[in-house]
Amino acid sequence: MYTEIDTPSVLIDTKIAKGNIKKYQTYCTDQGLNLRPHIKTHKLPYFAGLQVEAGAVGITCQKISEAEAMLDGDKSNSIKNILLSYNILGRSKLERLKKISERVKLSVVADNIDCIEGLSQAFSDLSEELPILIEVDTGALRCGVMTPQEACNLALRVSELPGVSFAGLMTYPPKSNAAIIMNNFFNEAKKLIESNGLEIKTISIGGSPQMWKAHEVPLATEYRVGTYIYNDKSLIVAGACEIEDCALTILTTVISTPAPNRAVIDAGSKVLTSDLMGLEGHGLIVGYPDLTISQLSEEHGCITSNTSTNLRVGQRIQVIPNHACVVSNMVDHVVFIEDDQVLLHEPVVARGKVW
Amino acid sequence: MYTEIDTPSVLIDTKIAKGNIKKYQTYCTDQGLNLRPHIKTHKLPYFAGLQVEAGAVGITCQKISEAEAMLDGDKSNSIKNILLSYNILGRSKLERLKKISERVKLSVVADNIDCIEGLSQAFSDLSEELPILIEVDTGALRCGVMTPQEACNLALRVSELPGVSFAGLMTYPPKSNAAIIMNNFFNEAKKLIESNGLEIKTISIGGSPQMWKAHEVPLATEYRVGTYIYNDKSLIVAGACEIEDCALTILTTVISTPAPNRAVIDAGSKVLTSDLMGLEGHGLIVGYPDLTISQLSEEHGCITSNTSTNLRVGQRIQVIPNHACVVSNMVDHVVFIEDDQVLLHEPVVARGKVW
The pLDDT tens digits of the residues spanning A82-134 come to 999 999 999 999 999 999 999 999 999 999 999 999 999 999 999 999 999 99
In this prediction, residue A335 carries a pLDDT of 98
Which segments of B187-265 are extended strands (E)?
A: 202-206, 222-224, 248-259, 262-265
* Burial track A251-285 (b if 16+ CB lie within 10 A, e otherwise): bbbbbbbbeeebbbbbbbbbbbbbbebebebbbbb
Q: What angle do CA A211, A216, A219 make, to 5 degrees?
A: 105
Q: Report the gap between the CA of A197 and the closest CA in chain B (Å).
A: 25
In this prediction, residue A31 carries a pLDDT of 98
Q: Do A258 and B92 touch (CB under 8 A)?
A: no
Rounded to two decimals, what is the model's pTM?
Answer: 0.97
Domains (range + CATH), chain B: 2-8+235-347 (2.40.37.20), 14-231 (3.20.20.10)
In this prediction, residue B205 carries a pLDDT of 98
In chain B, what percentage of residues exceed pLDDT 70? 100
Q: Report the gap between the CA of A89 and the closest CA in chain B (Å).
A: 7
In this prediction, residue B240 carries a pLDDT of 97
Q: Do B142 and A329 touch (CB under 8 A)?
A: no
Q: Do A89 and B143 touch (CB under 8 A)?
A: no
The partner residues of A222 in beta bridges, in order of sequence, read A34, A204
Q: Do A354 and B62 touch (CB under 8 A)?
A: no
Give A211-246 as a DSSP string: GGGGGG-TT--EEE-SGGGT--HHHHHTTS--GGG-
Higher pLDDT, B1 or B242: B242
What tens digit of pLDDT does each residue of B230-240 get? 999 999 999 99
DSSP state, residue B2? G
**Angle between helix B14-31 and B45-53 (nearest 10):** 40
**Angle between helix A64-72 and A45-53 (nearest 10):** 80
- Side-chain-side CA neighbours of B168 within 13 Å: the count stands at 17
In this prediction, residue B3 carries a pLDDT of 87
Task: Decide: residue A188, CB within 10 A, 0-12 exposed, 13-18 middle, 19+ buried.
Answer: middle
What tens digit of pLDDT does each residue of B258-287 get? 999 999 999 999 999 999 999 999 999 999
pLDDT over 90 (residue A3): no
In this prediction, residue B262 carries a pLDDT of 98
Kindly identify which residue of chain A lies nearest to residue B91, measuring between CA atoms.
Answer: A6
Mutate to test the interface with A, among B39, B185, B255 (most CBs of A within 10 A): B255
Which segments of A113-247 are extended strands (E)?
A: 130-135, 164-170, 202-206, 222-224
Chain B residues within an 8 Å CB radius of A329: 270, 298, 330
Chain B residues within an 8 Å CB radius of A276: 274
In chain B, what percentage of residues exceed pLDDT 90? 99
Q: Do B255 and A40 touch (CB under 8 A)?
A: no
Chain B residues within an 8 Å CB radius of A207: none
Q: Residue B324 — very low, low, confident or very high, per pLDDT cuts 50/70/90?
A: very high
Q: Do B274 and A271 touch (CB under 8 A)?
A: no
In this prediction, residue B245 carries a pLDDT of 98
Mutate to test the interface with A, among B5, B64, B142, B331 (most CBs of A within 10 A): B142
Count the Cβ atoms, other than its own, within 10 Å of residue A317: 22
Chain A residues within an 8 Å CB radius of B302: 141-142
Mutate to test the interface with B, among A87, A97, A270, A316 (most CBs of B within 10 A): A270
Q: Residue B217 — very low, low, confident or very high, per pLDDT cuts 50/70/90?
A: very high
Chain B residues within an 8 Å CB radius of A295: 141-142
What ipTM is given for this predicted complex? 0.97
